[in-house]
Amino acid sequence: MTNNSACCTGHNPTPGAVEQVNKKSCPEETLDDLAATFKILGEPVRIKILHALSISNLCVCDLSDLLGMTHSAISHQLRILRTARMVRFKKDGRRAIYSLNDKHVEIIMQTALAHMQGDGCEIPQGDK
Ligand SMILES: [Zn+2]
Ligand SMILES: [Zn+2]
């Protein structure tokens, strides 16, 4: 790749590429659901909750202290995250202990943070 332009010159699609992607692609509905999930993640406080839960299972009181928010504000965010299948809870006596929904959510958080921190990513060294 010697061209510094981030776009092709003219319209010259790779032969067979579109057919190959269409053949292997997930249903559009699934991709729309994924976009909706990322939209839910696009709120810093929800990312902070998920990050905290990736370190330890916590109840609403813990998250309230951690993030300096009221119980009702935390509960509201947890309800949104639960609807999006990002977190779940287990009753422990009178406490509700929240955790990440499953291994996928753990991996999403780990991978996204690694991406942000540049772990295992090729960091552009500037134009040559
Ligand atoms: Zn509690
Ligand atoms: Zn899953």
Q: pLDDT digit string (tens) for 80-126?
A: 999 999 999 999 999 999 999 999 999 999 999 999 998 655 555 55
Nearest ligand to the CA of 57 is 1
- 126 alpha carbon – ligand 2 mean position (Å): 37
- 109 alpha carbon – ligand 2 mean position (Å): 12
Q: In what order do the strands lie in the sheet with 95-100?
A: 58-59, 95-100, 87-92
Match 């406080």 to its residue by tokens: 45
Q: What is the pTM of this model?
A: 0.84
What are the phi and psi torsion angles at 85 (to 5°)?
A: 60, 35
Nearest ligand to the CA of 78 is 1
pLDDT at 118: 85
- 102 alpha carbon – ligand 2 mean position (Å): 5
- 46 alpha carbon – ligand 2 mean position (Å): 18
- 99 alpha carbon – ligand 1 mean position (Å): 13
> Distances in Å between the alpha carbon of 71 and those of 62, 65, 68, 75, 86?
9, 9, 10, 6, 19
How many residues does this entry show for the chain?
128
Nearest to 50, CA basis, from 63, 32, 39, 35:
63
- 41 alpha carbon – ligand 1 mean position (Å): 24
pLDDT at 5: 82
| Neighbour-count burial of 62, counting CB atoms closer than 10 A to its CB (0-12 exposed, 13-18 middle, 19+ buried) | middle
**Each residue of 10-22: pLDDT tens digit?**
999 999 999 999 9
- 96 alpha carbon – ligand 2 mean position (Å): 21
Q: 7 in the Ramachandran plot: left (φ > 0), alpha (ψ -120 to 50) or beta? A: beta
**Each residue of 44-93: pLDDT tens digit?**
999 999 999 999 999 999 999 999 999 999 999 999 999 999 999 999 99
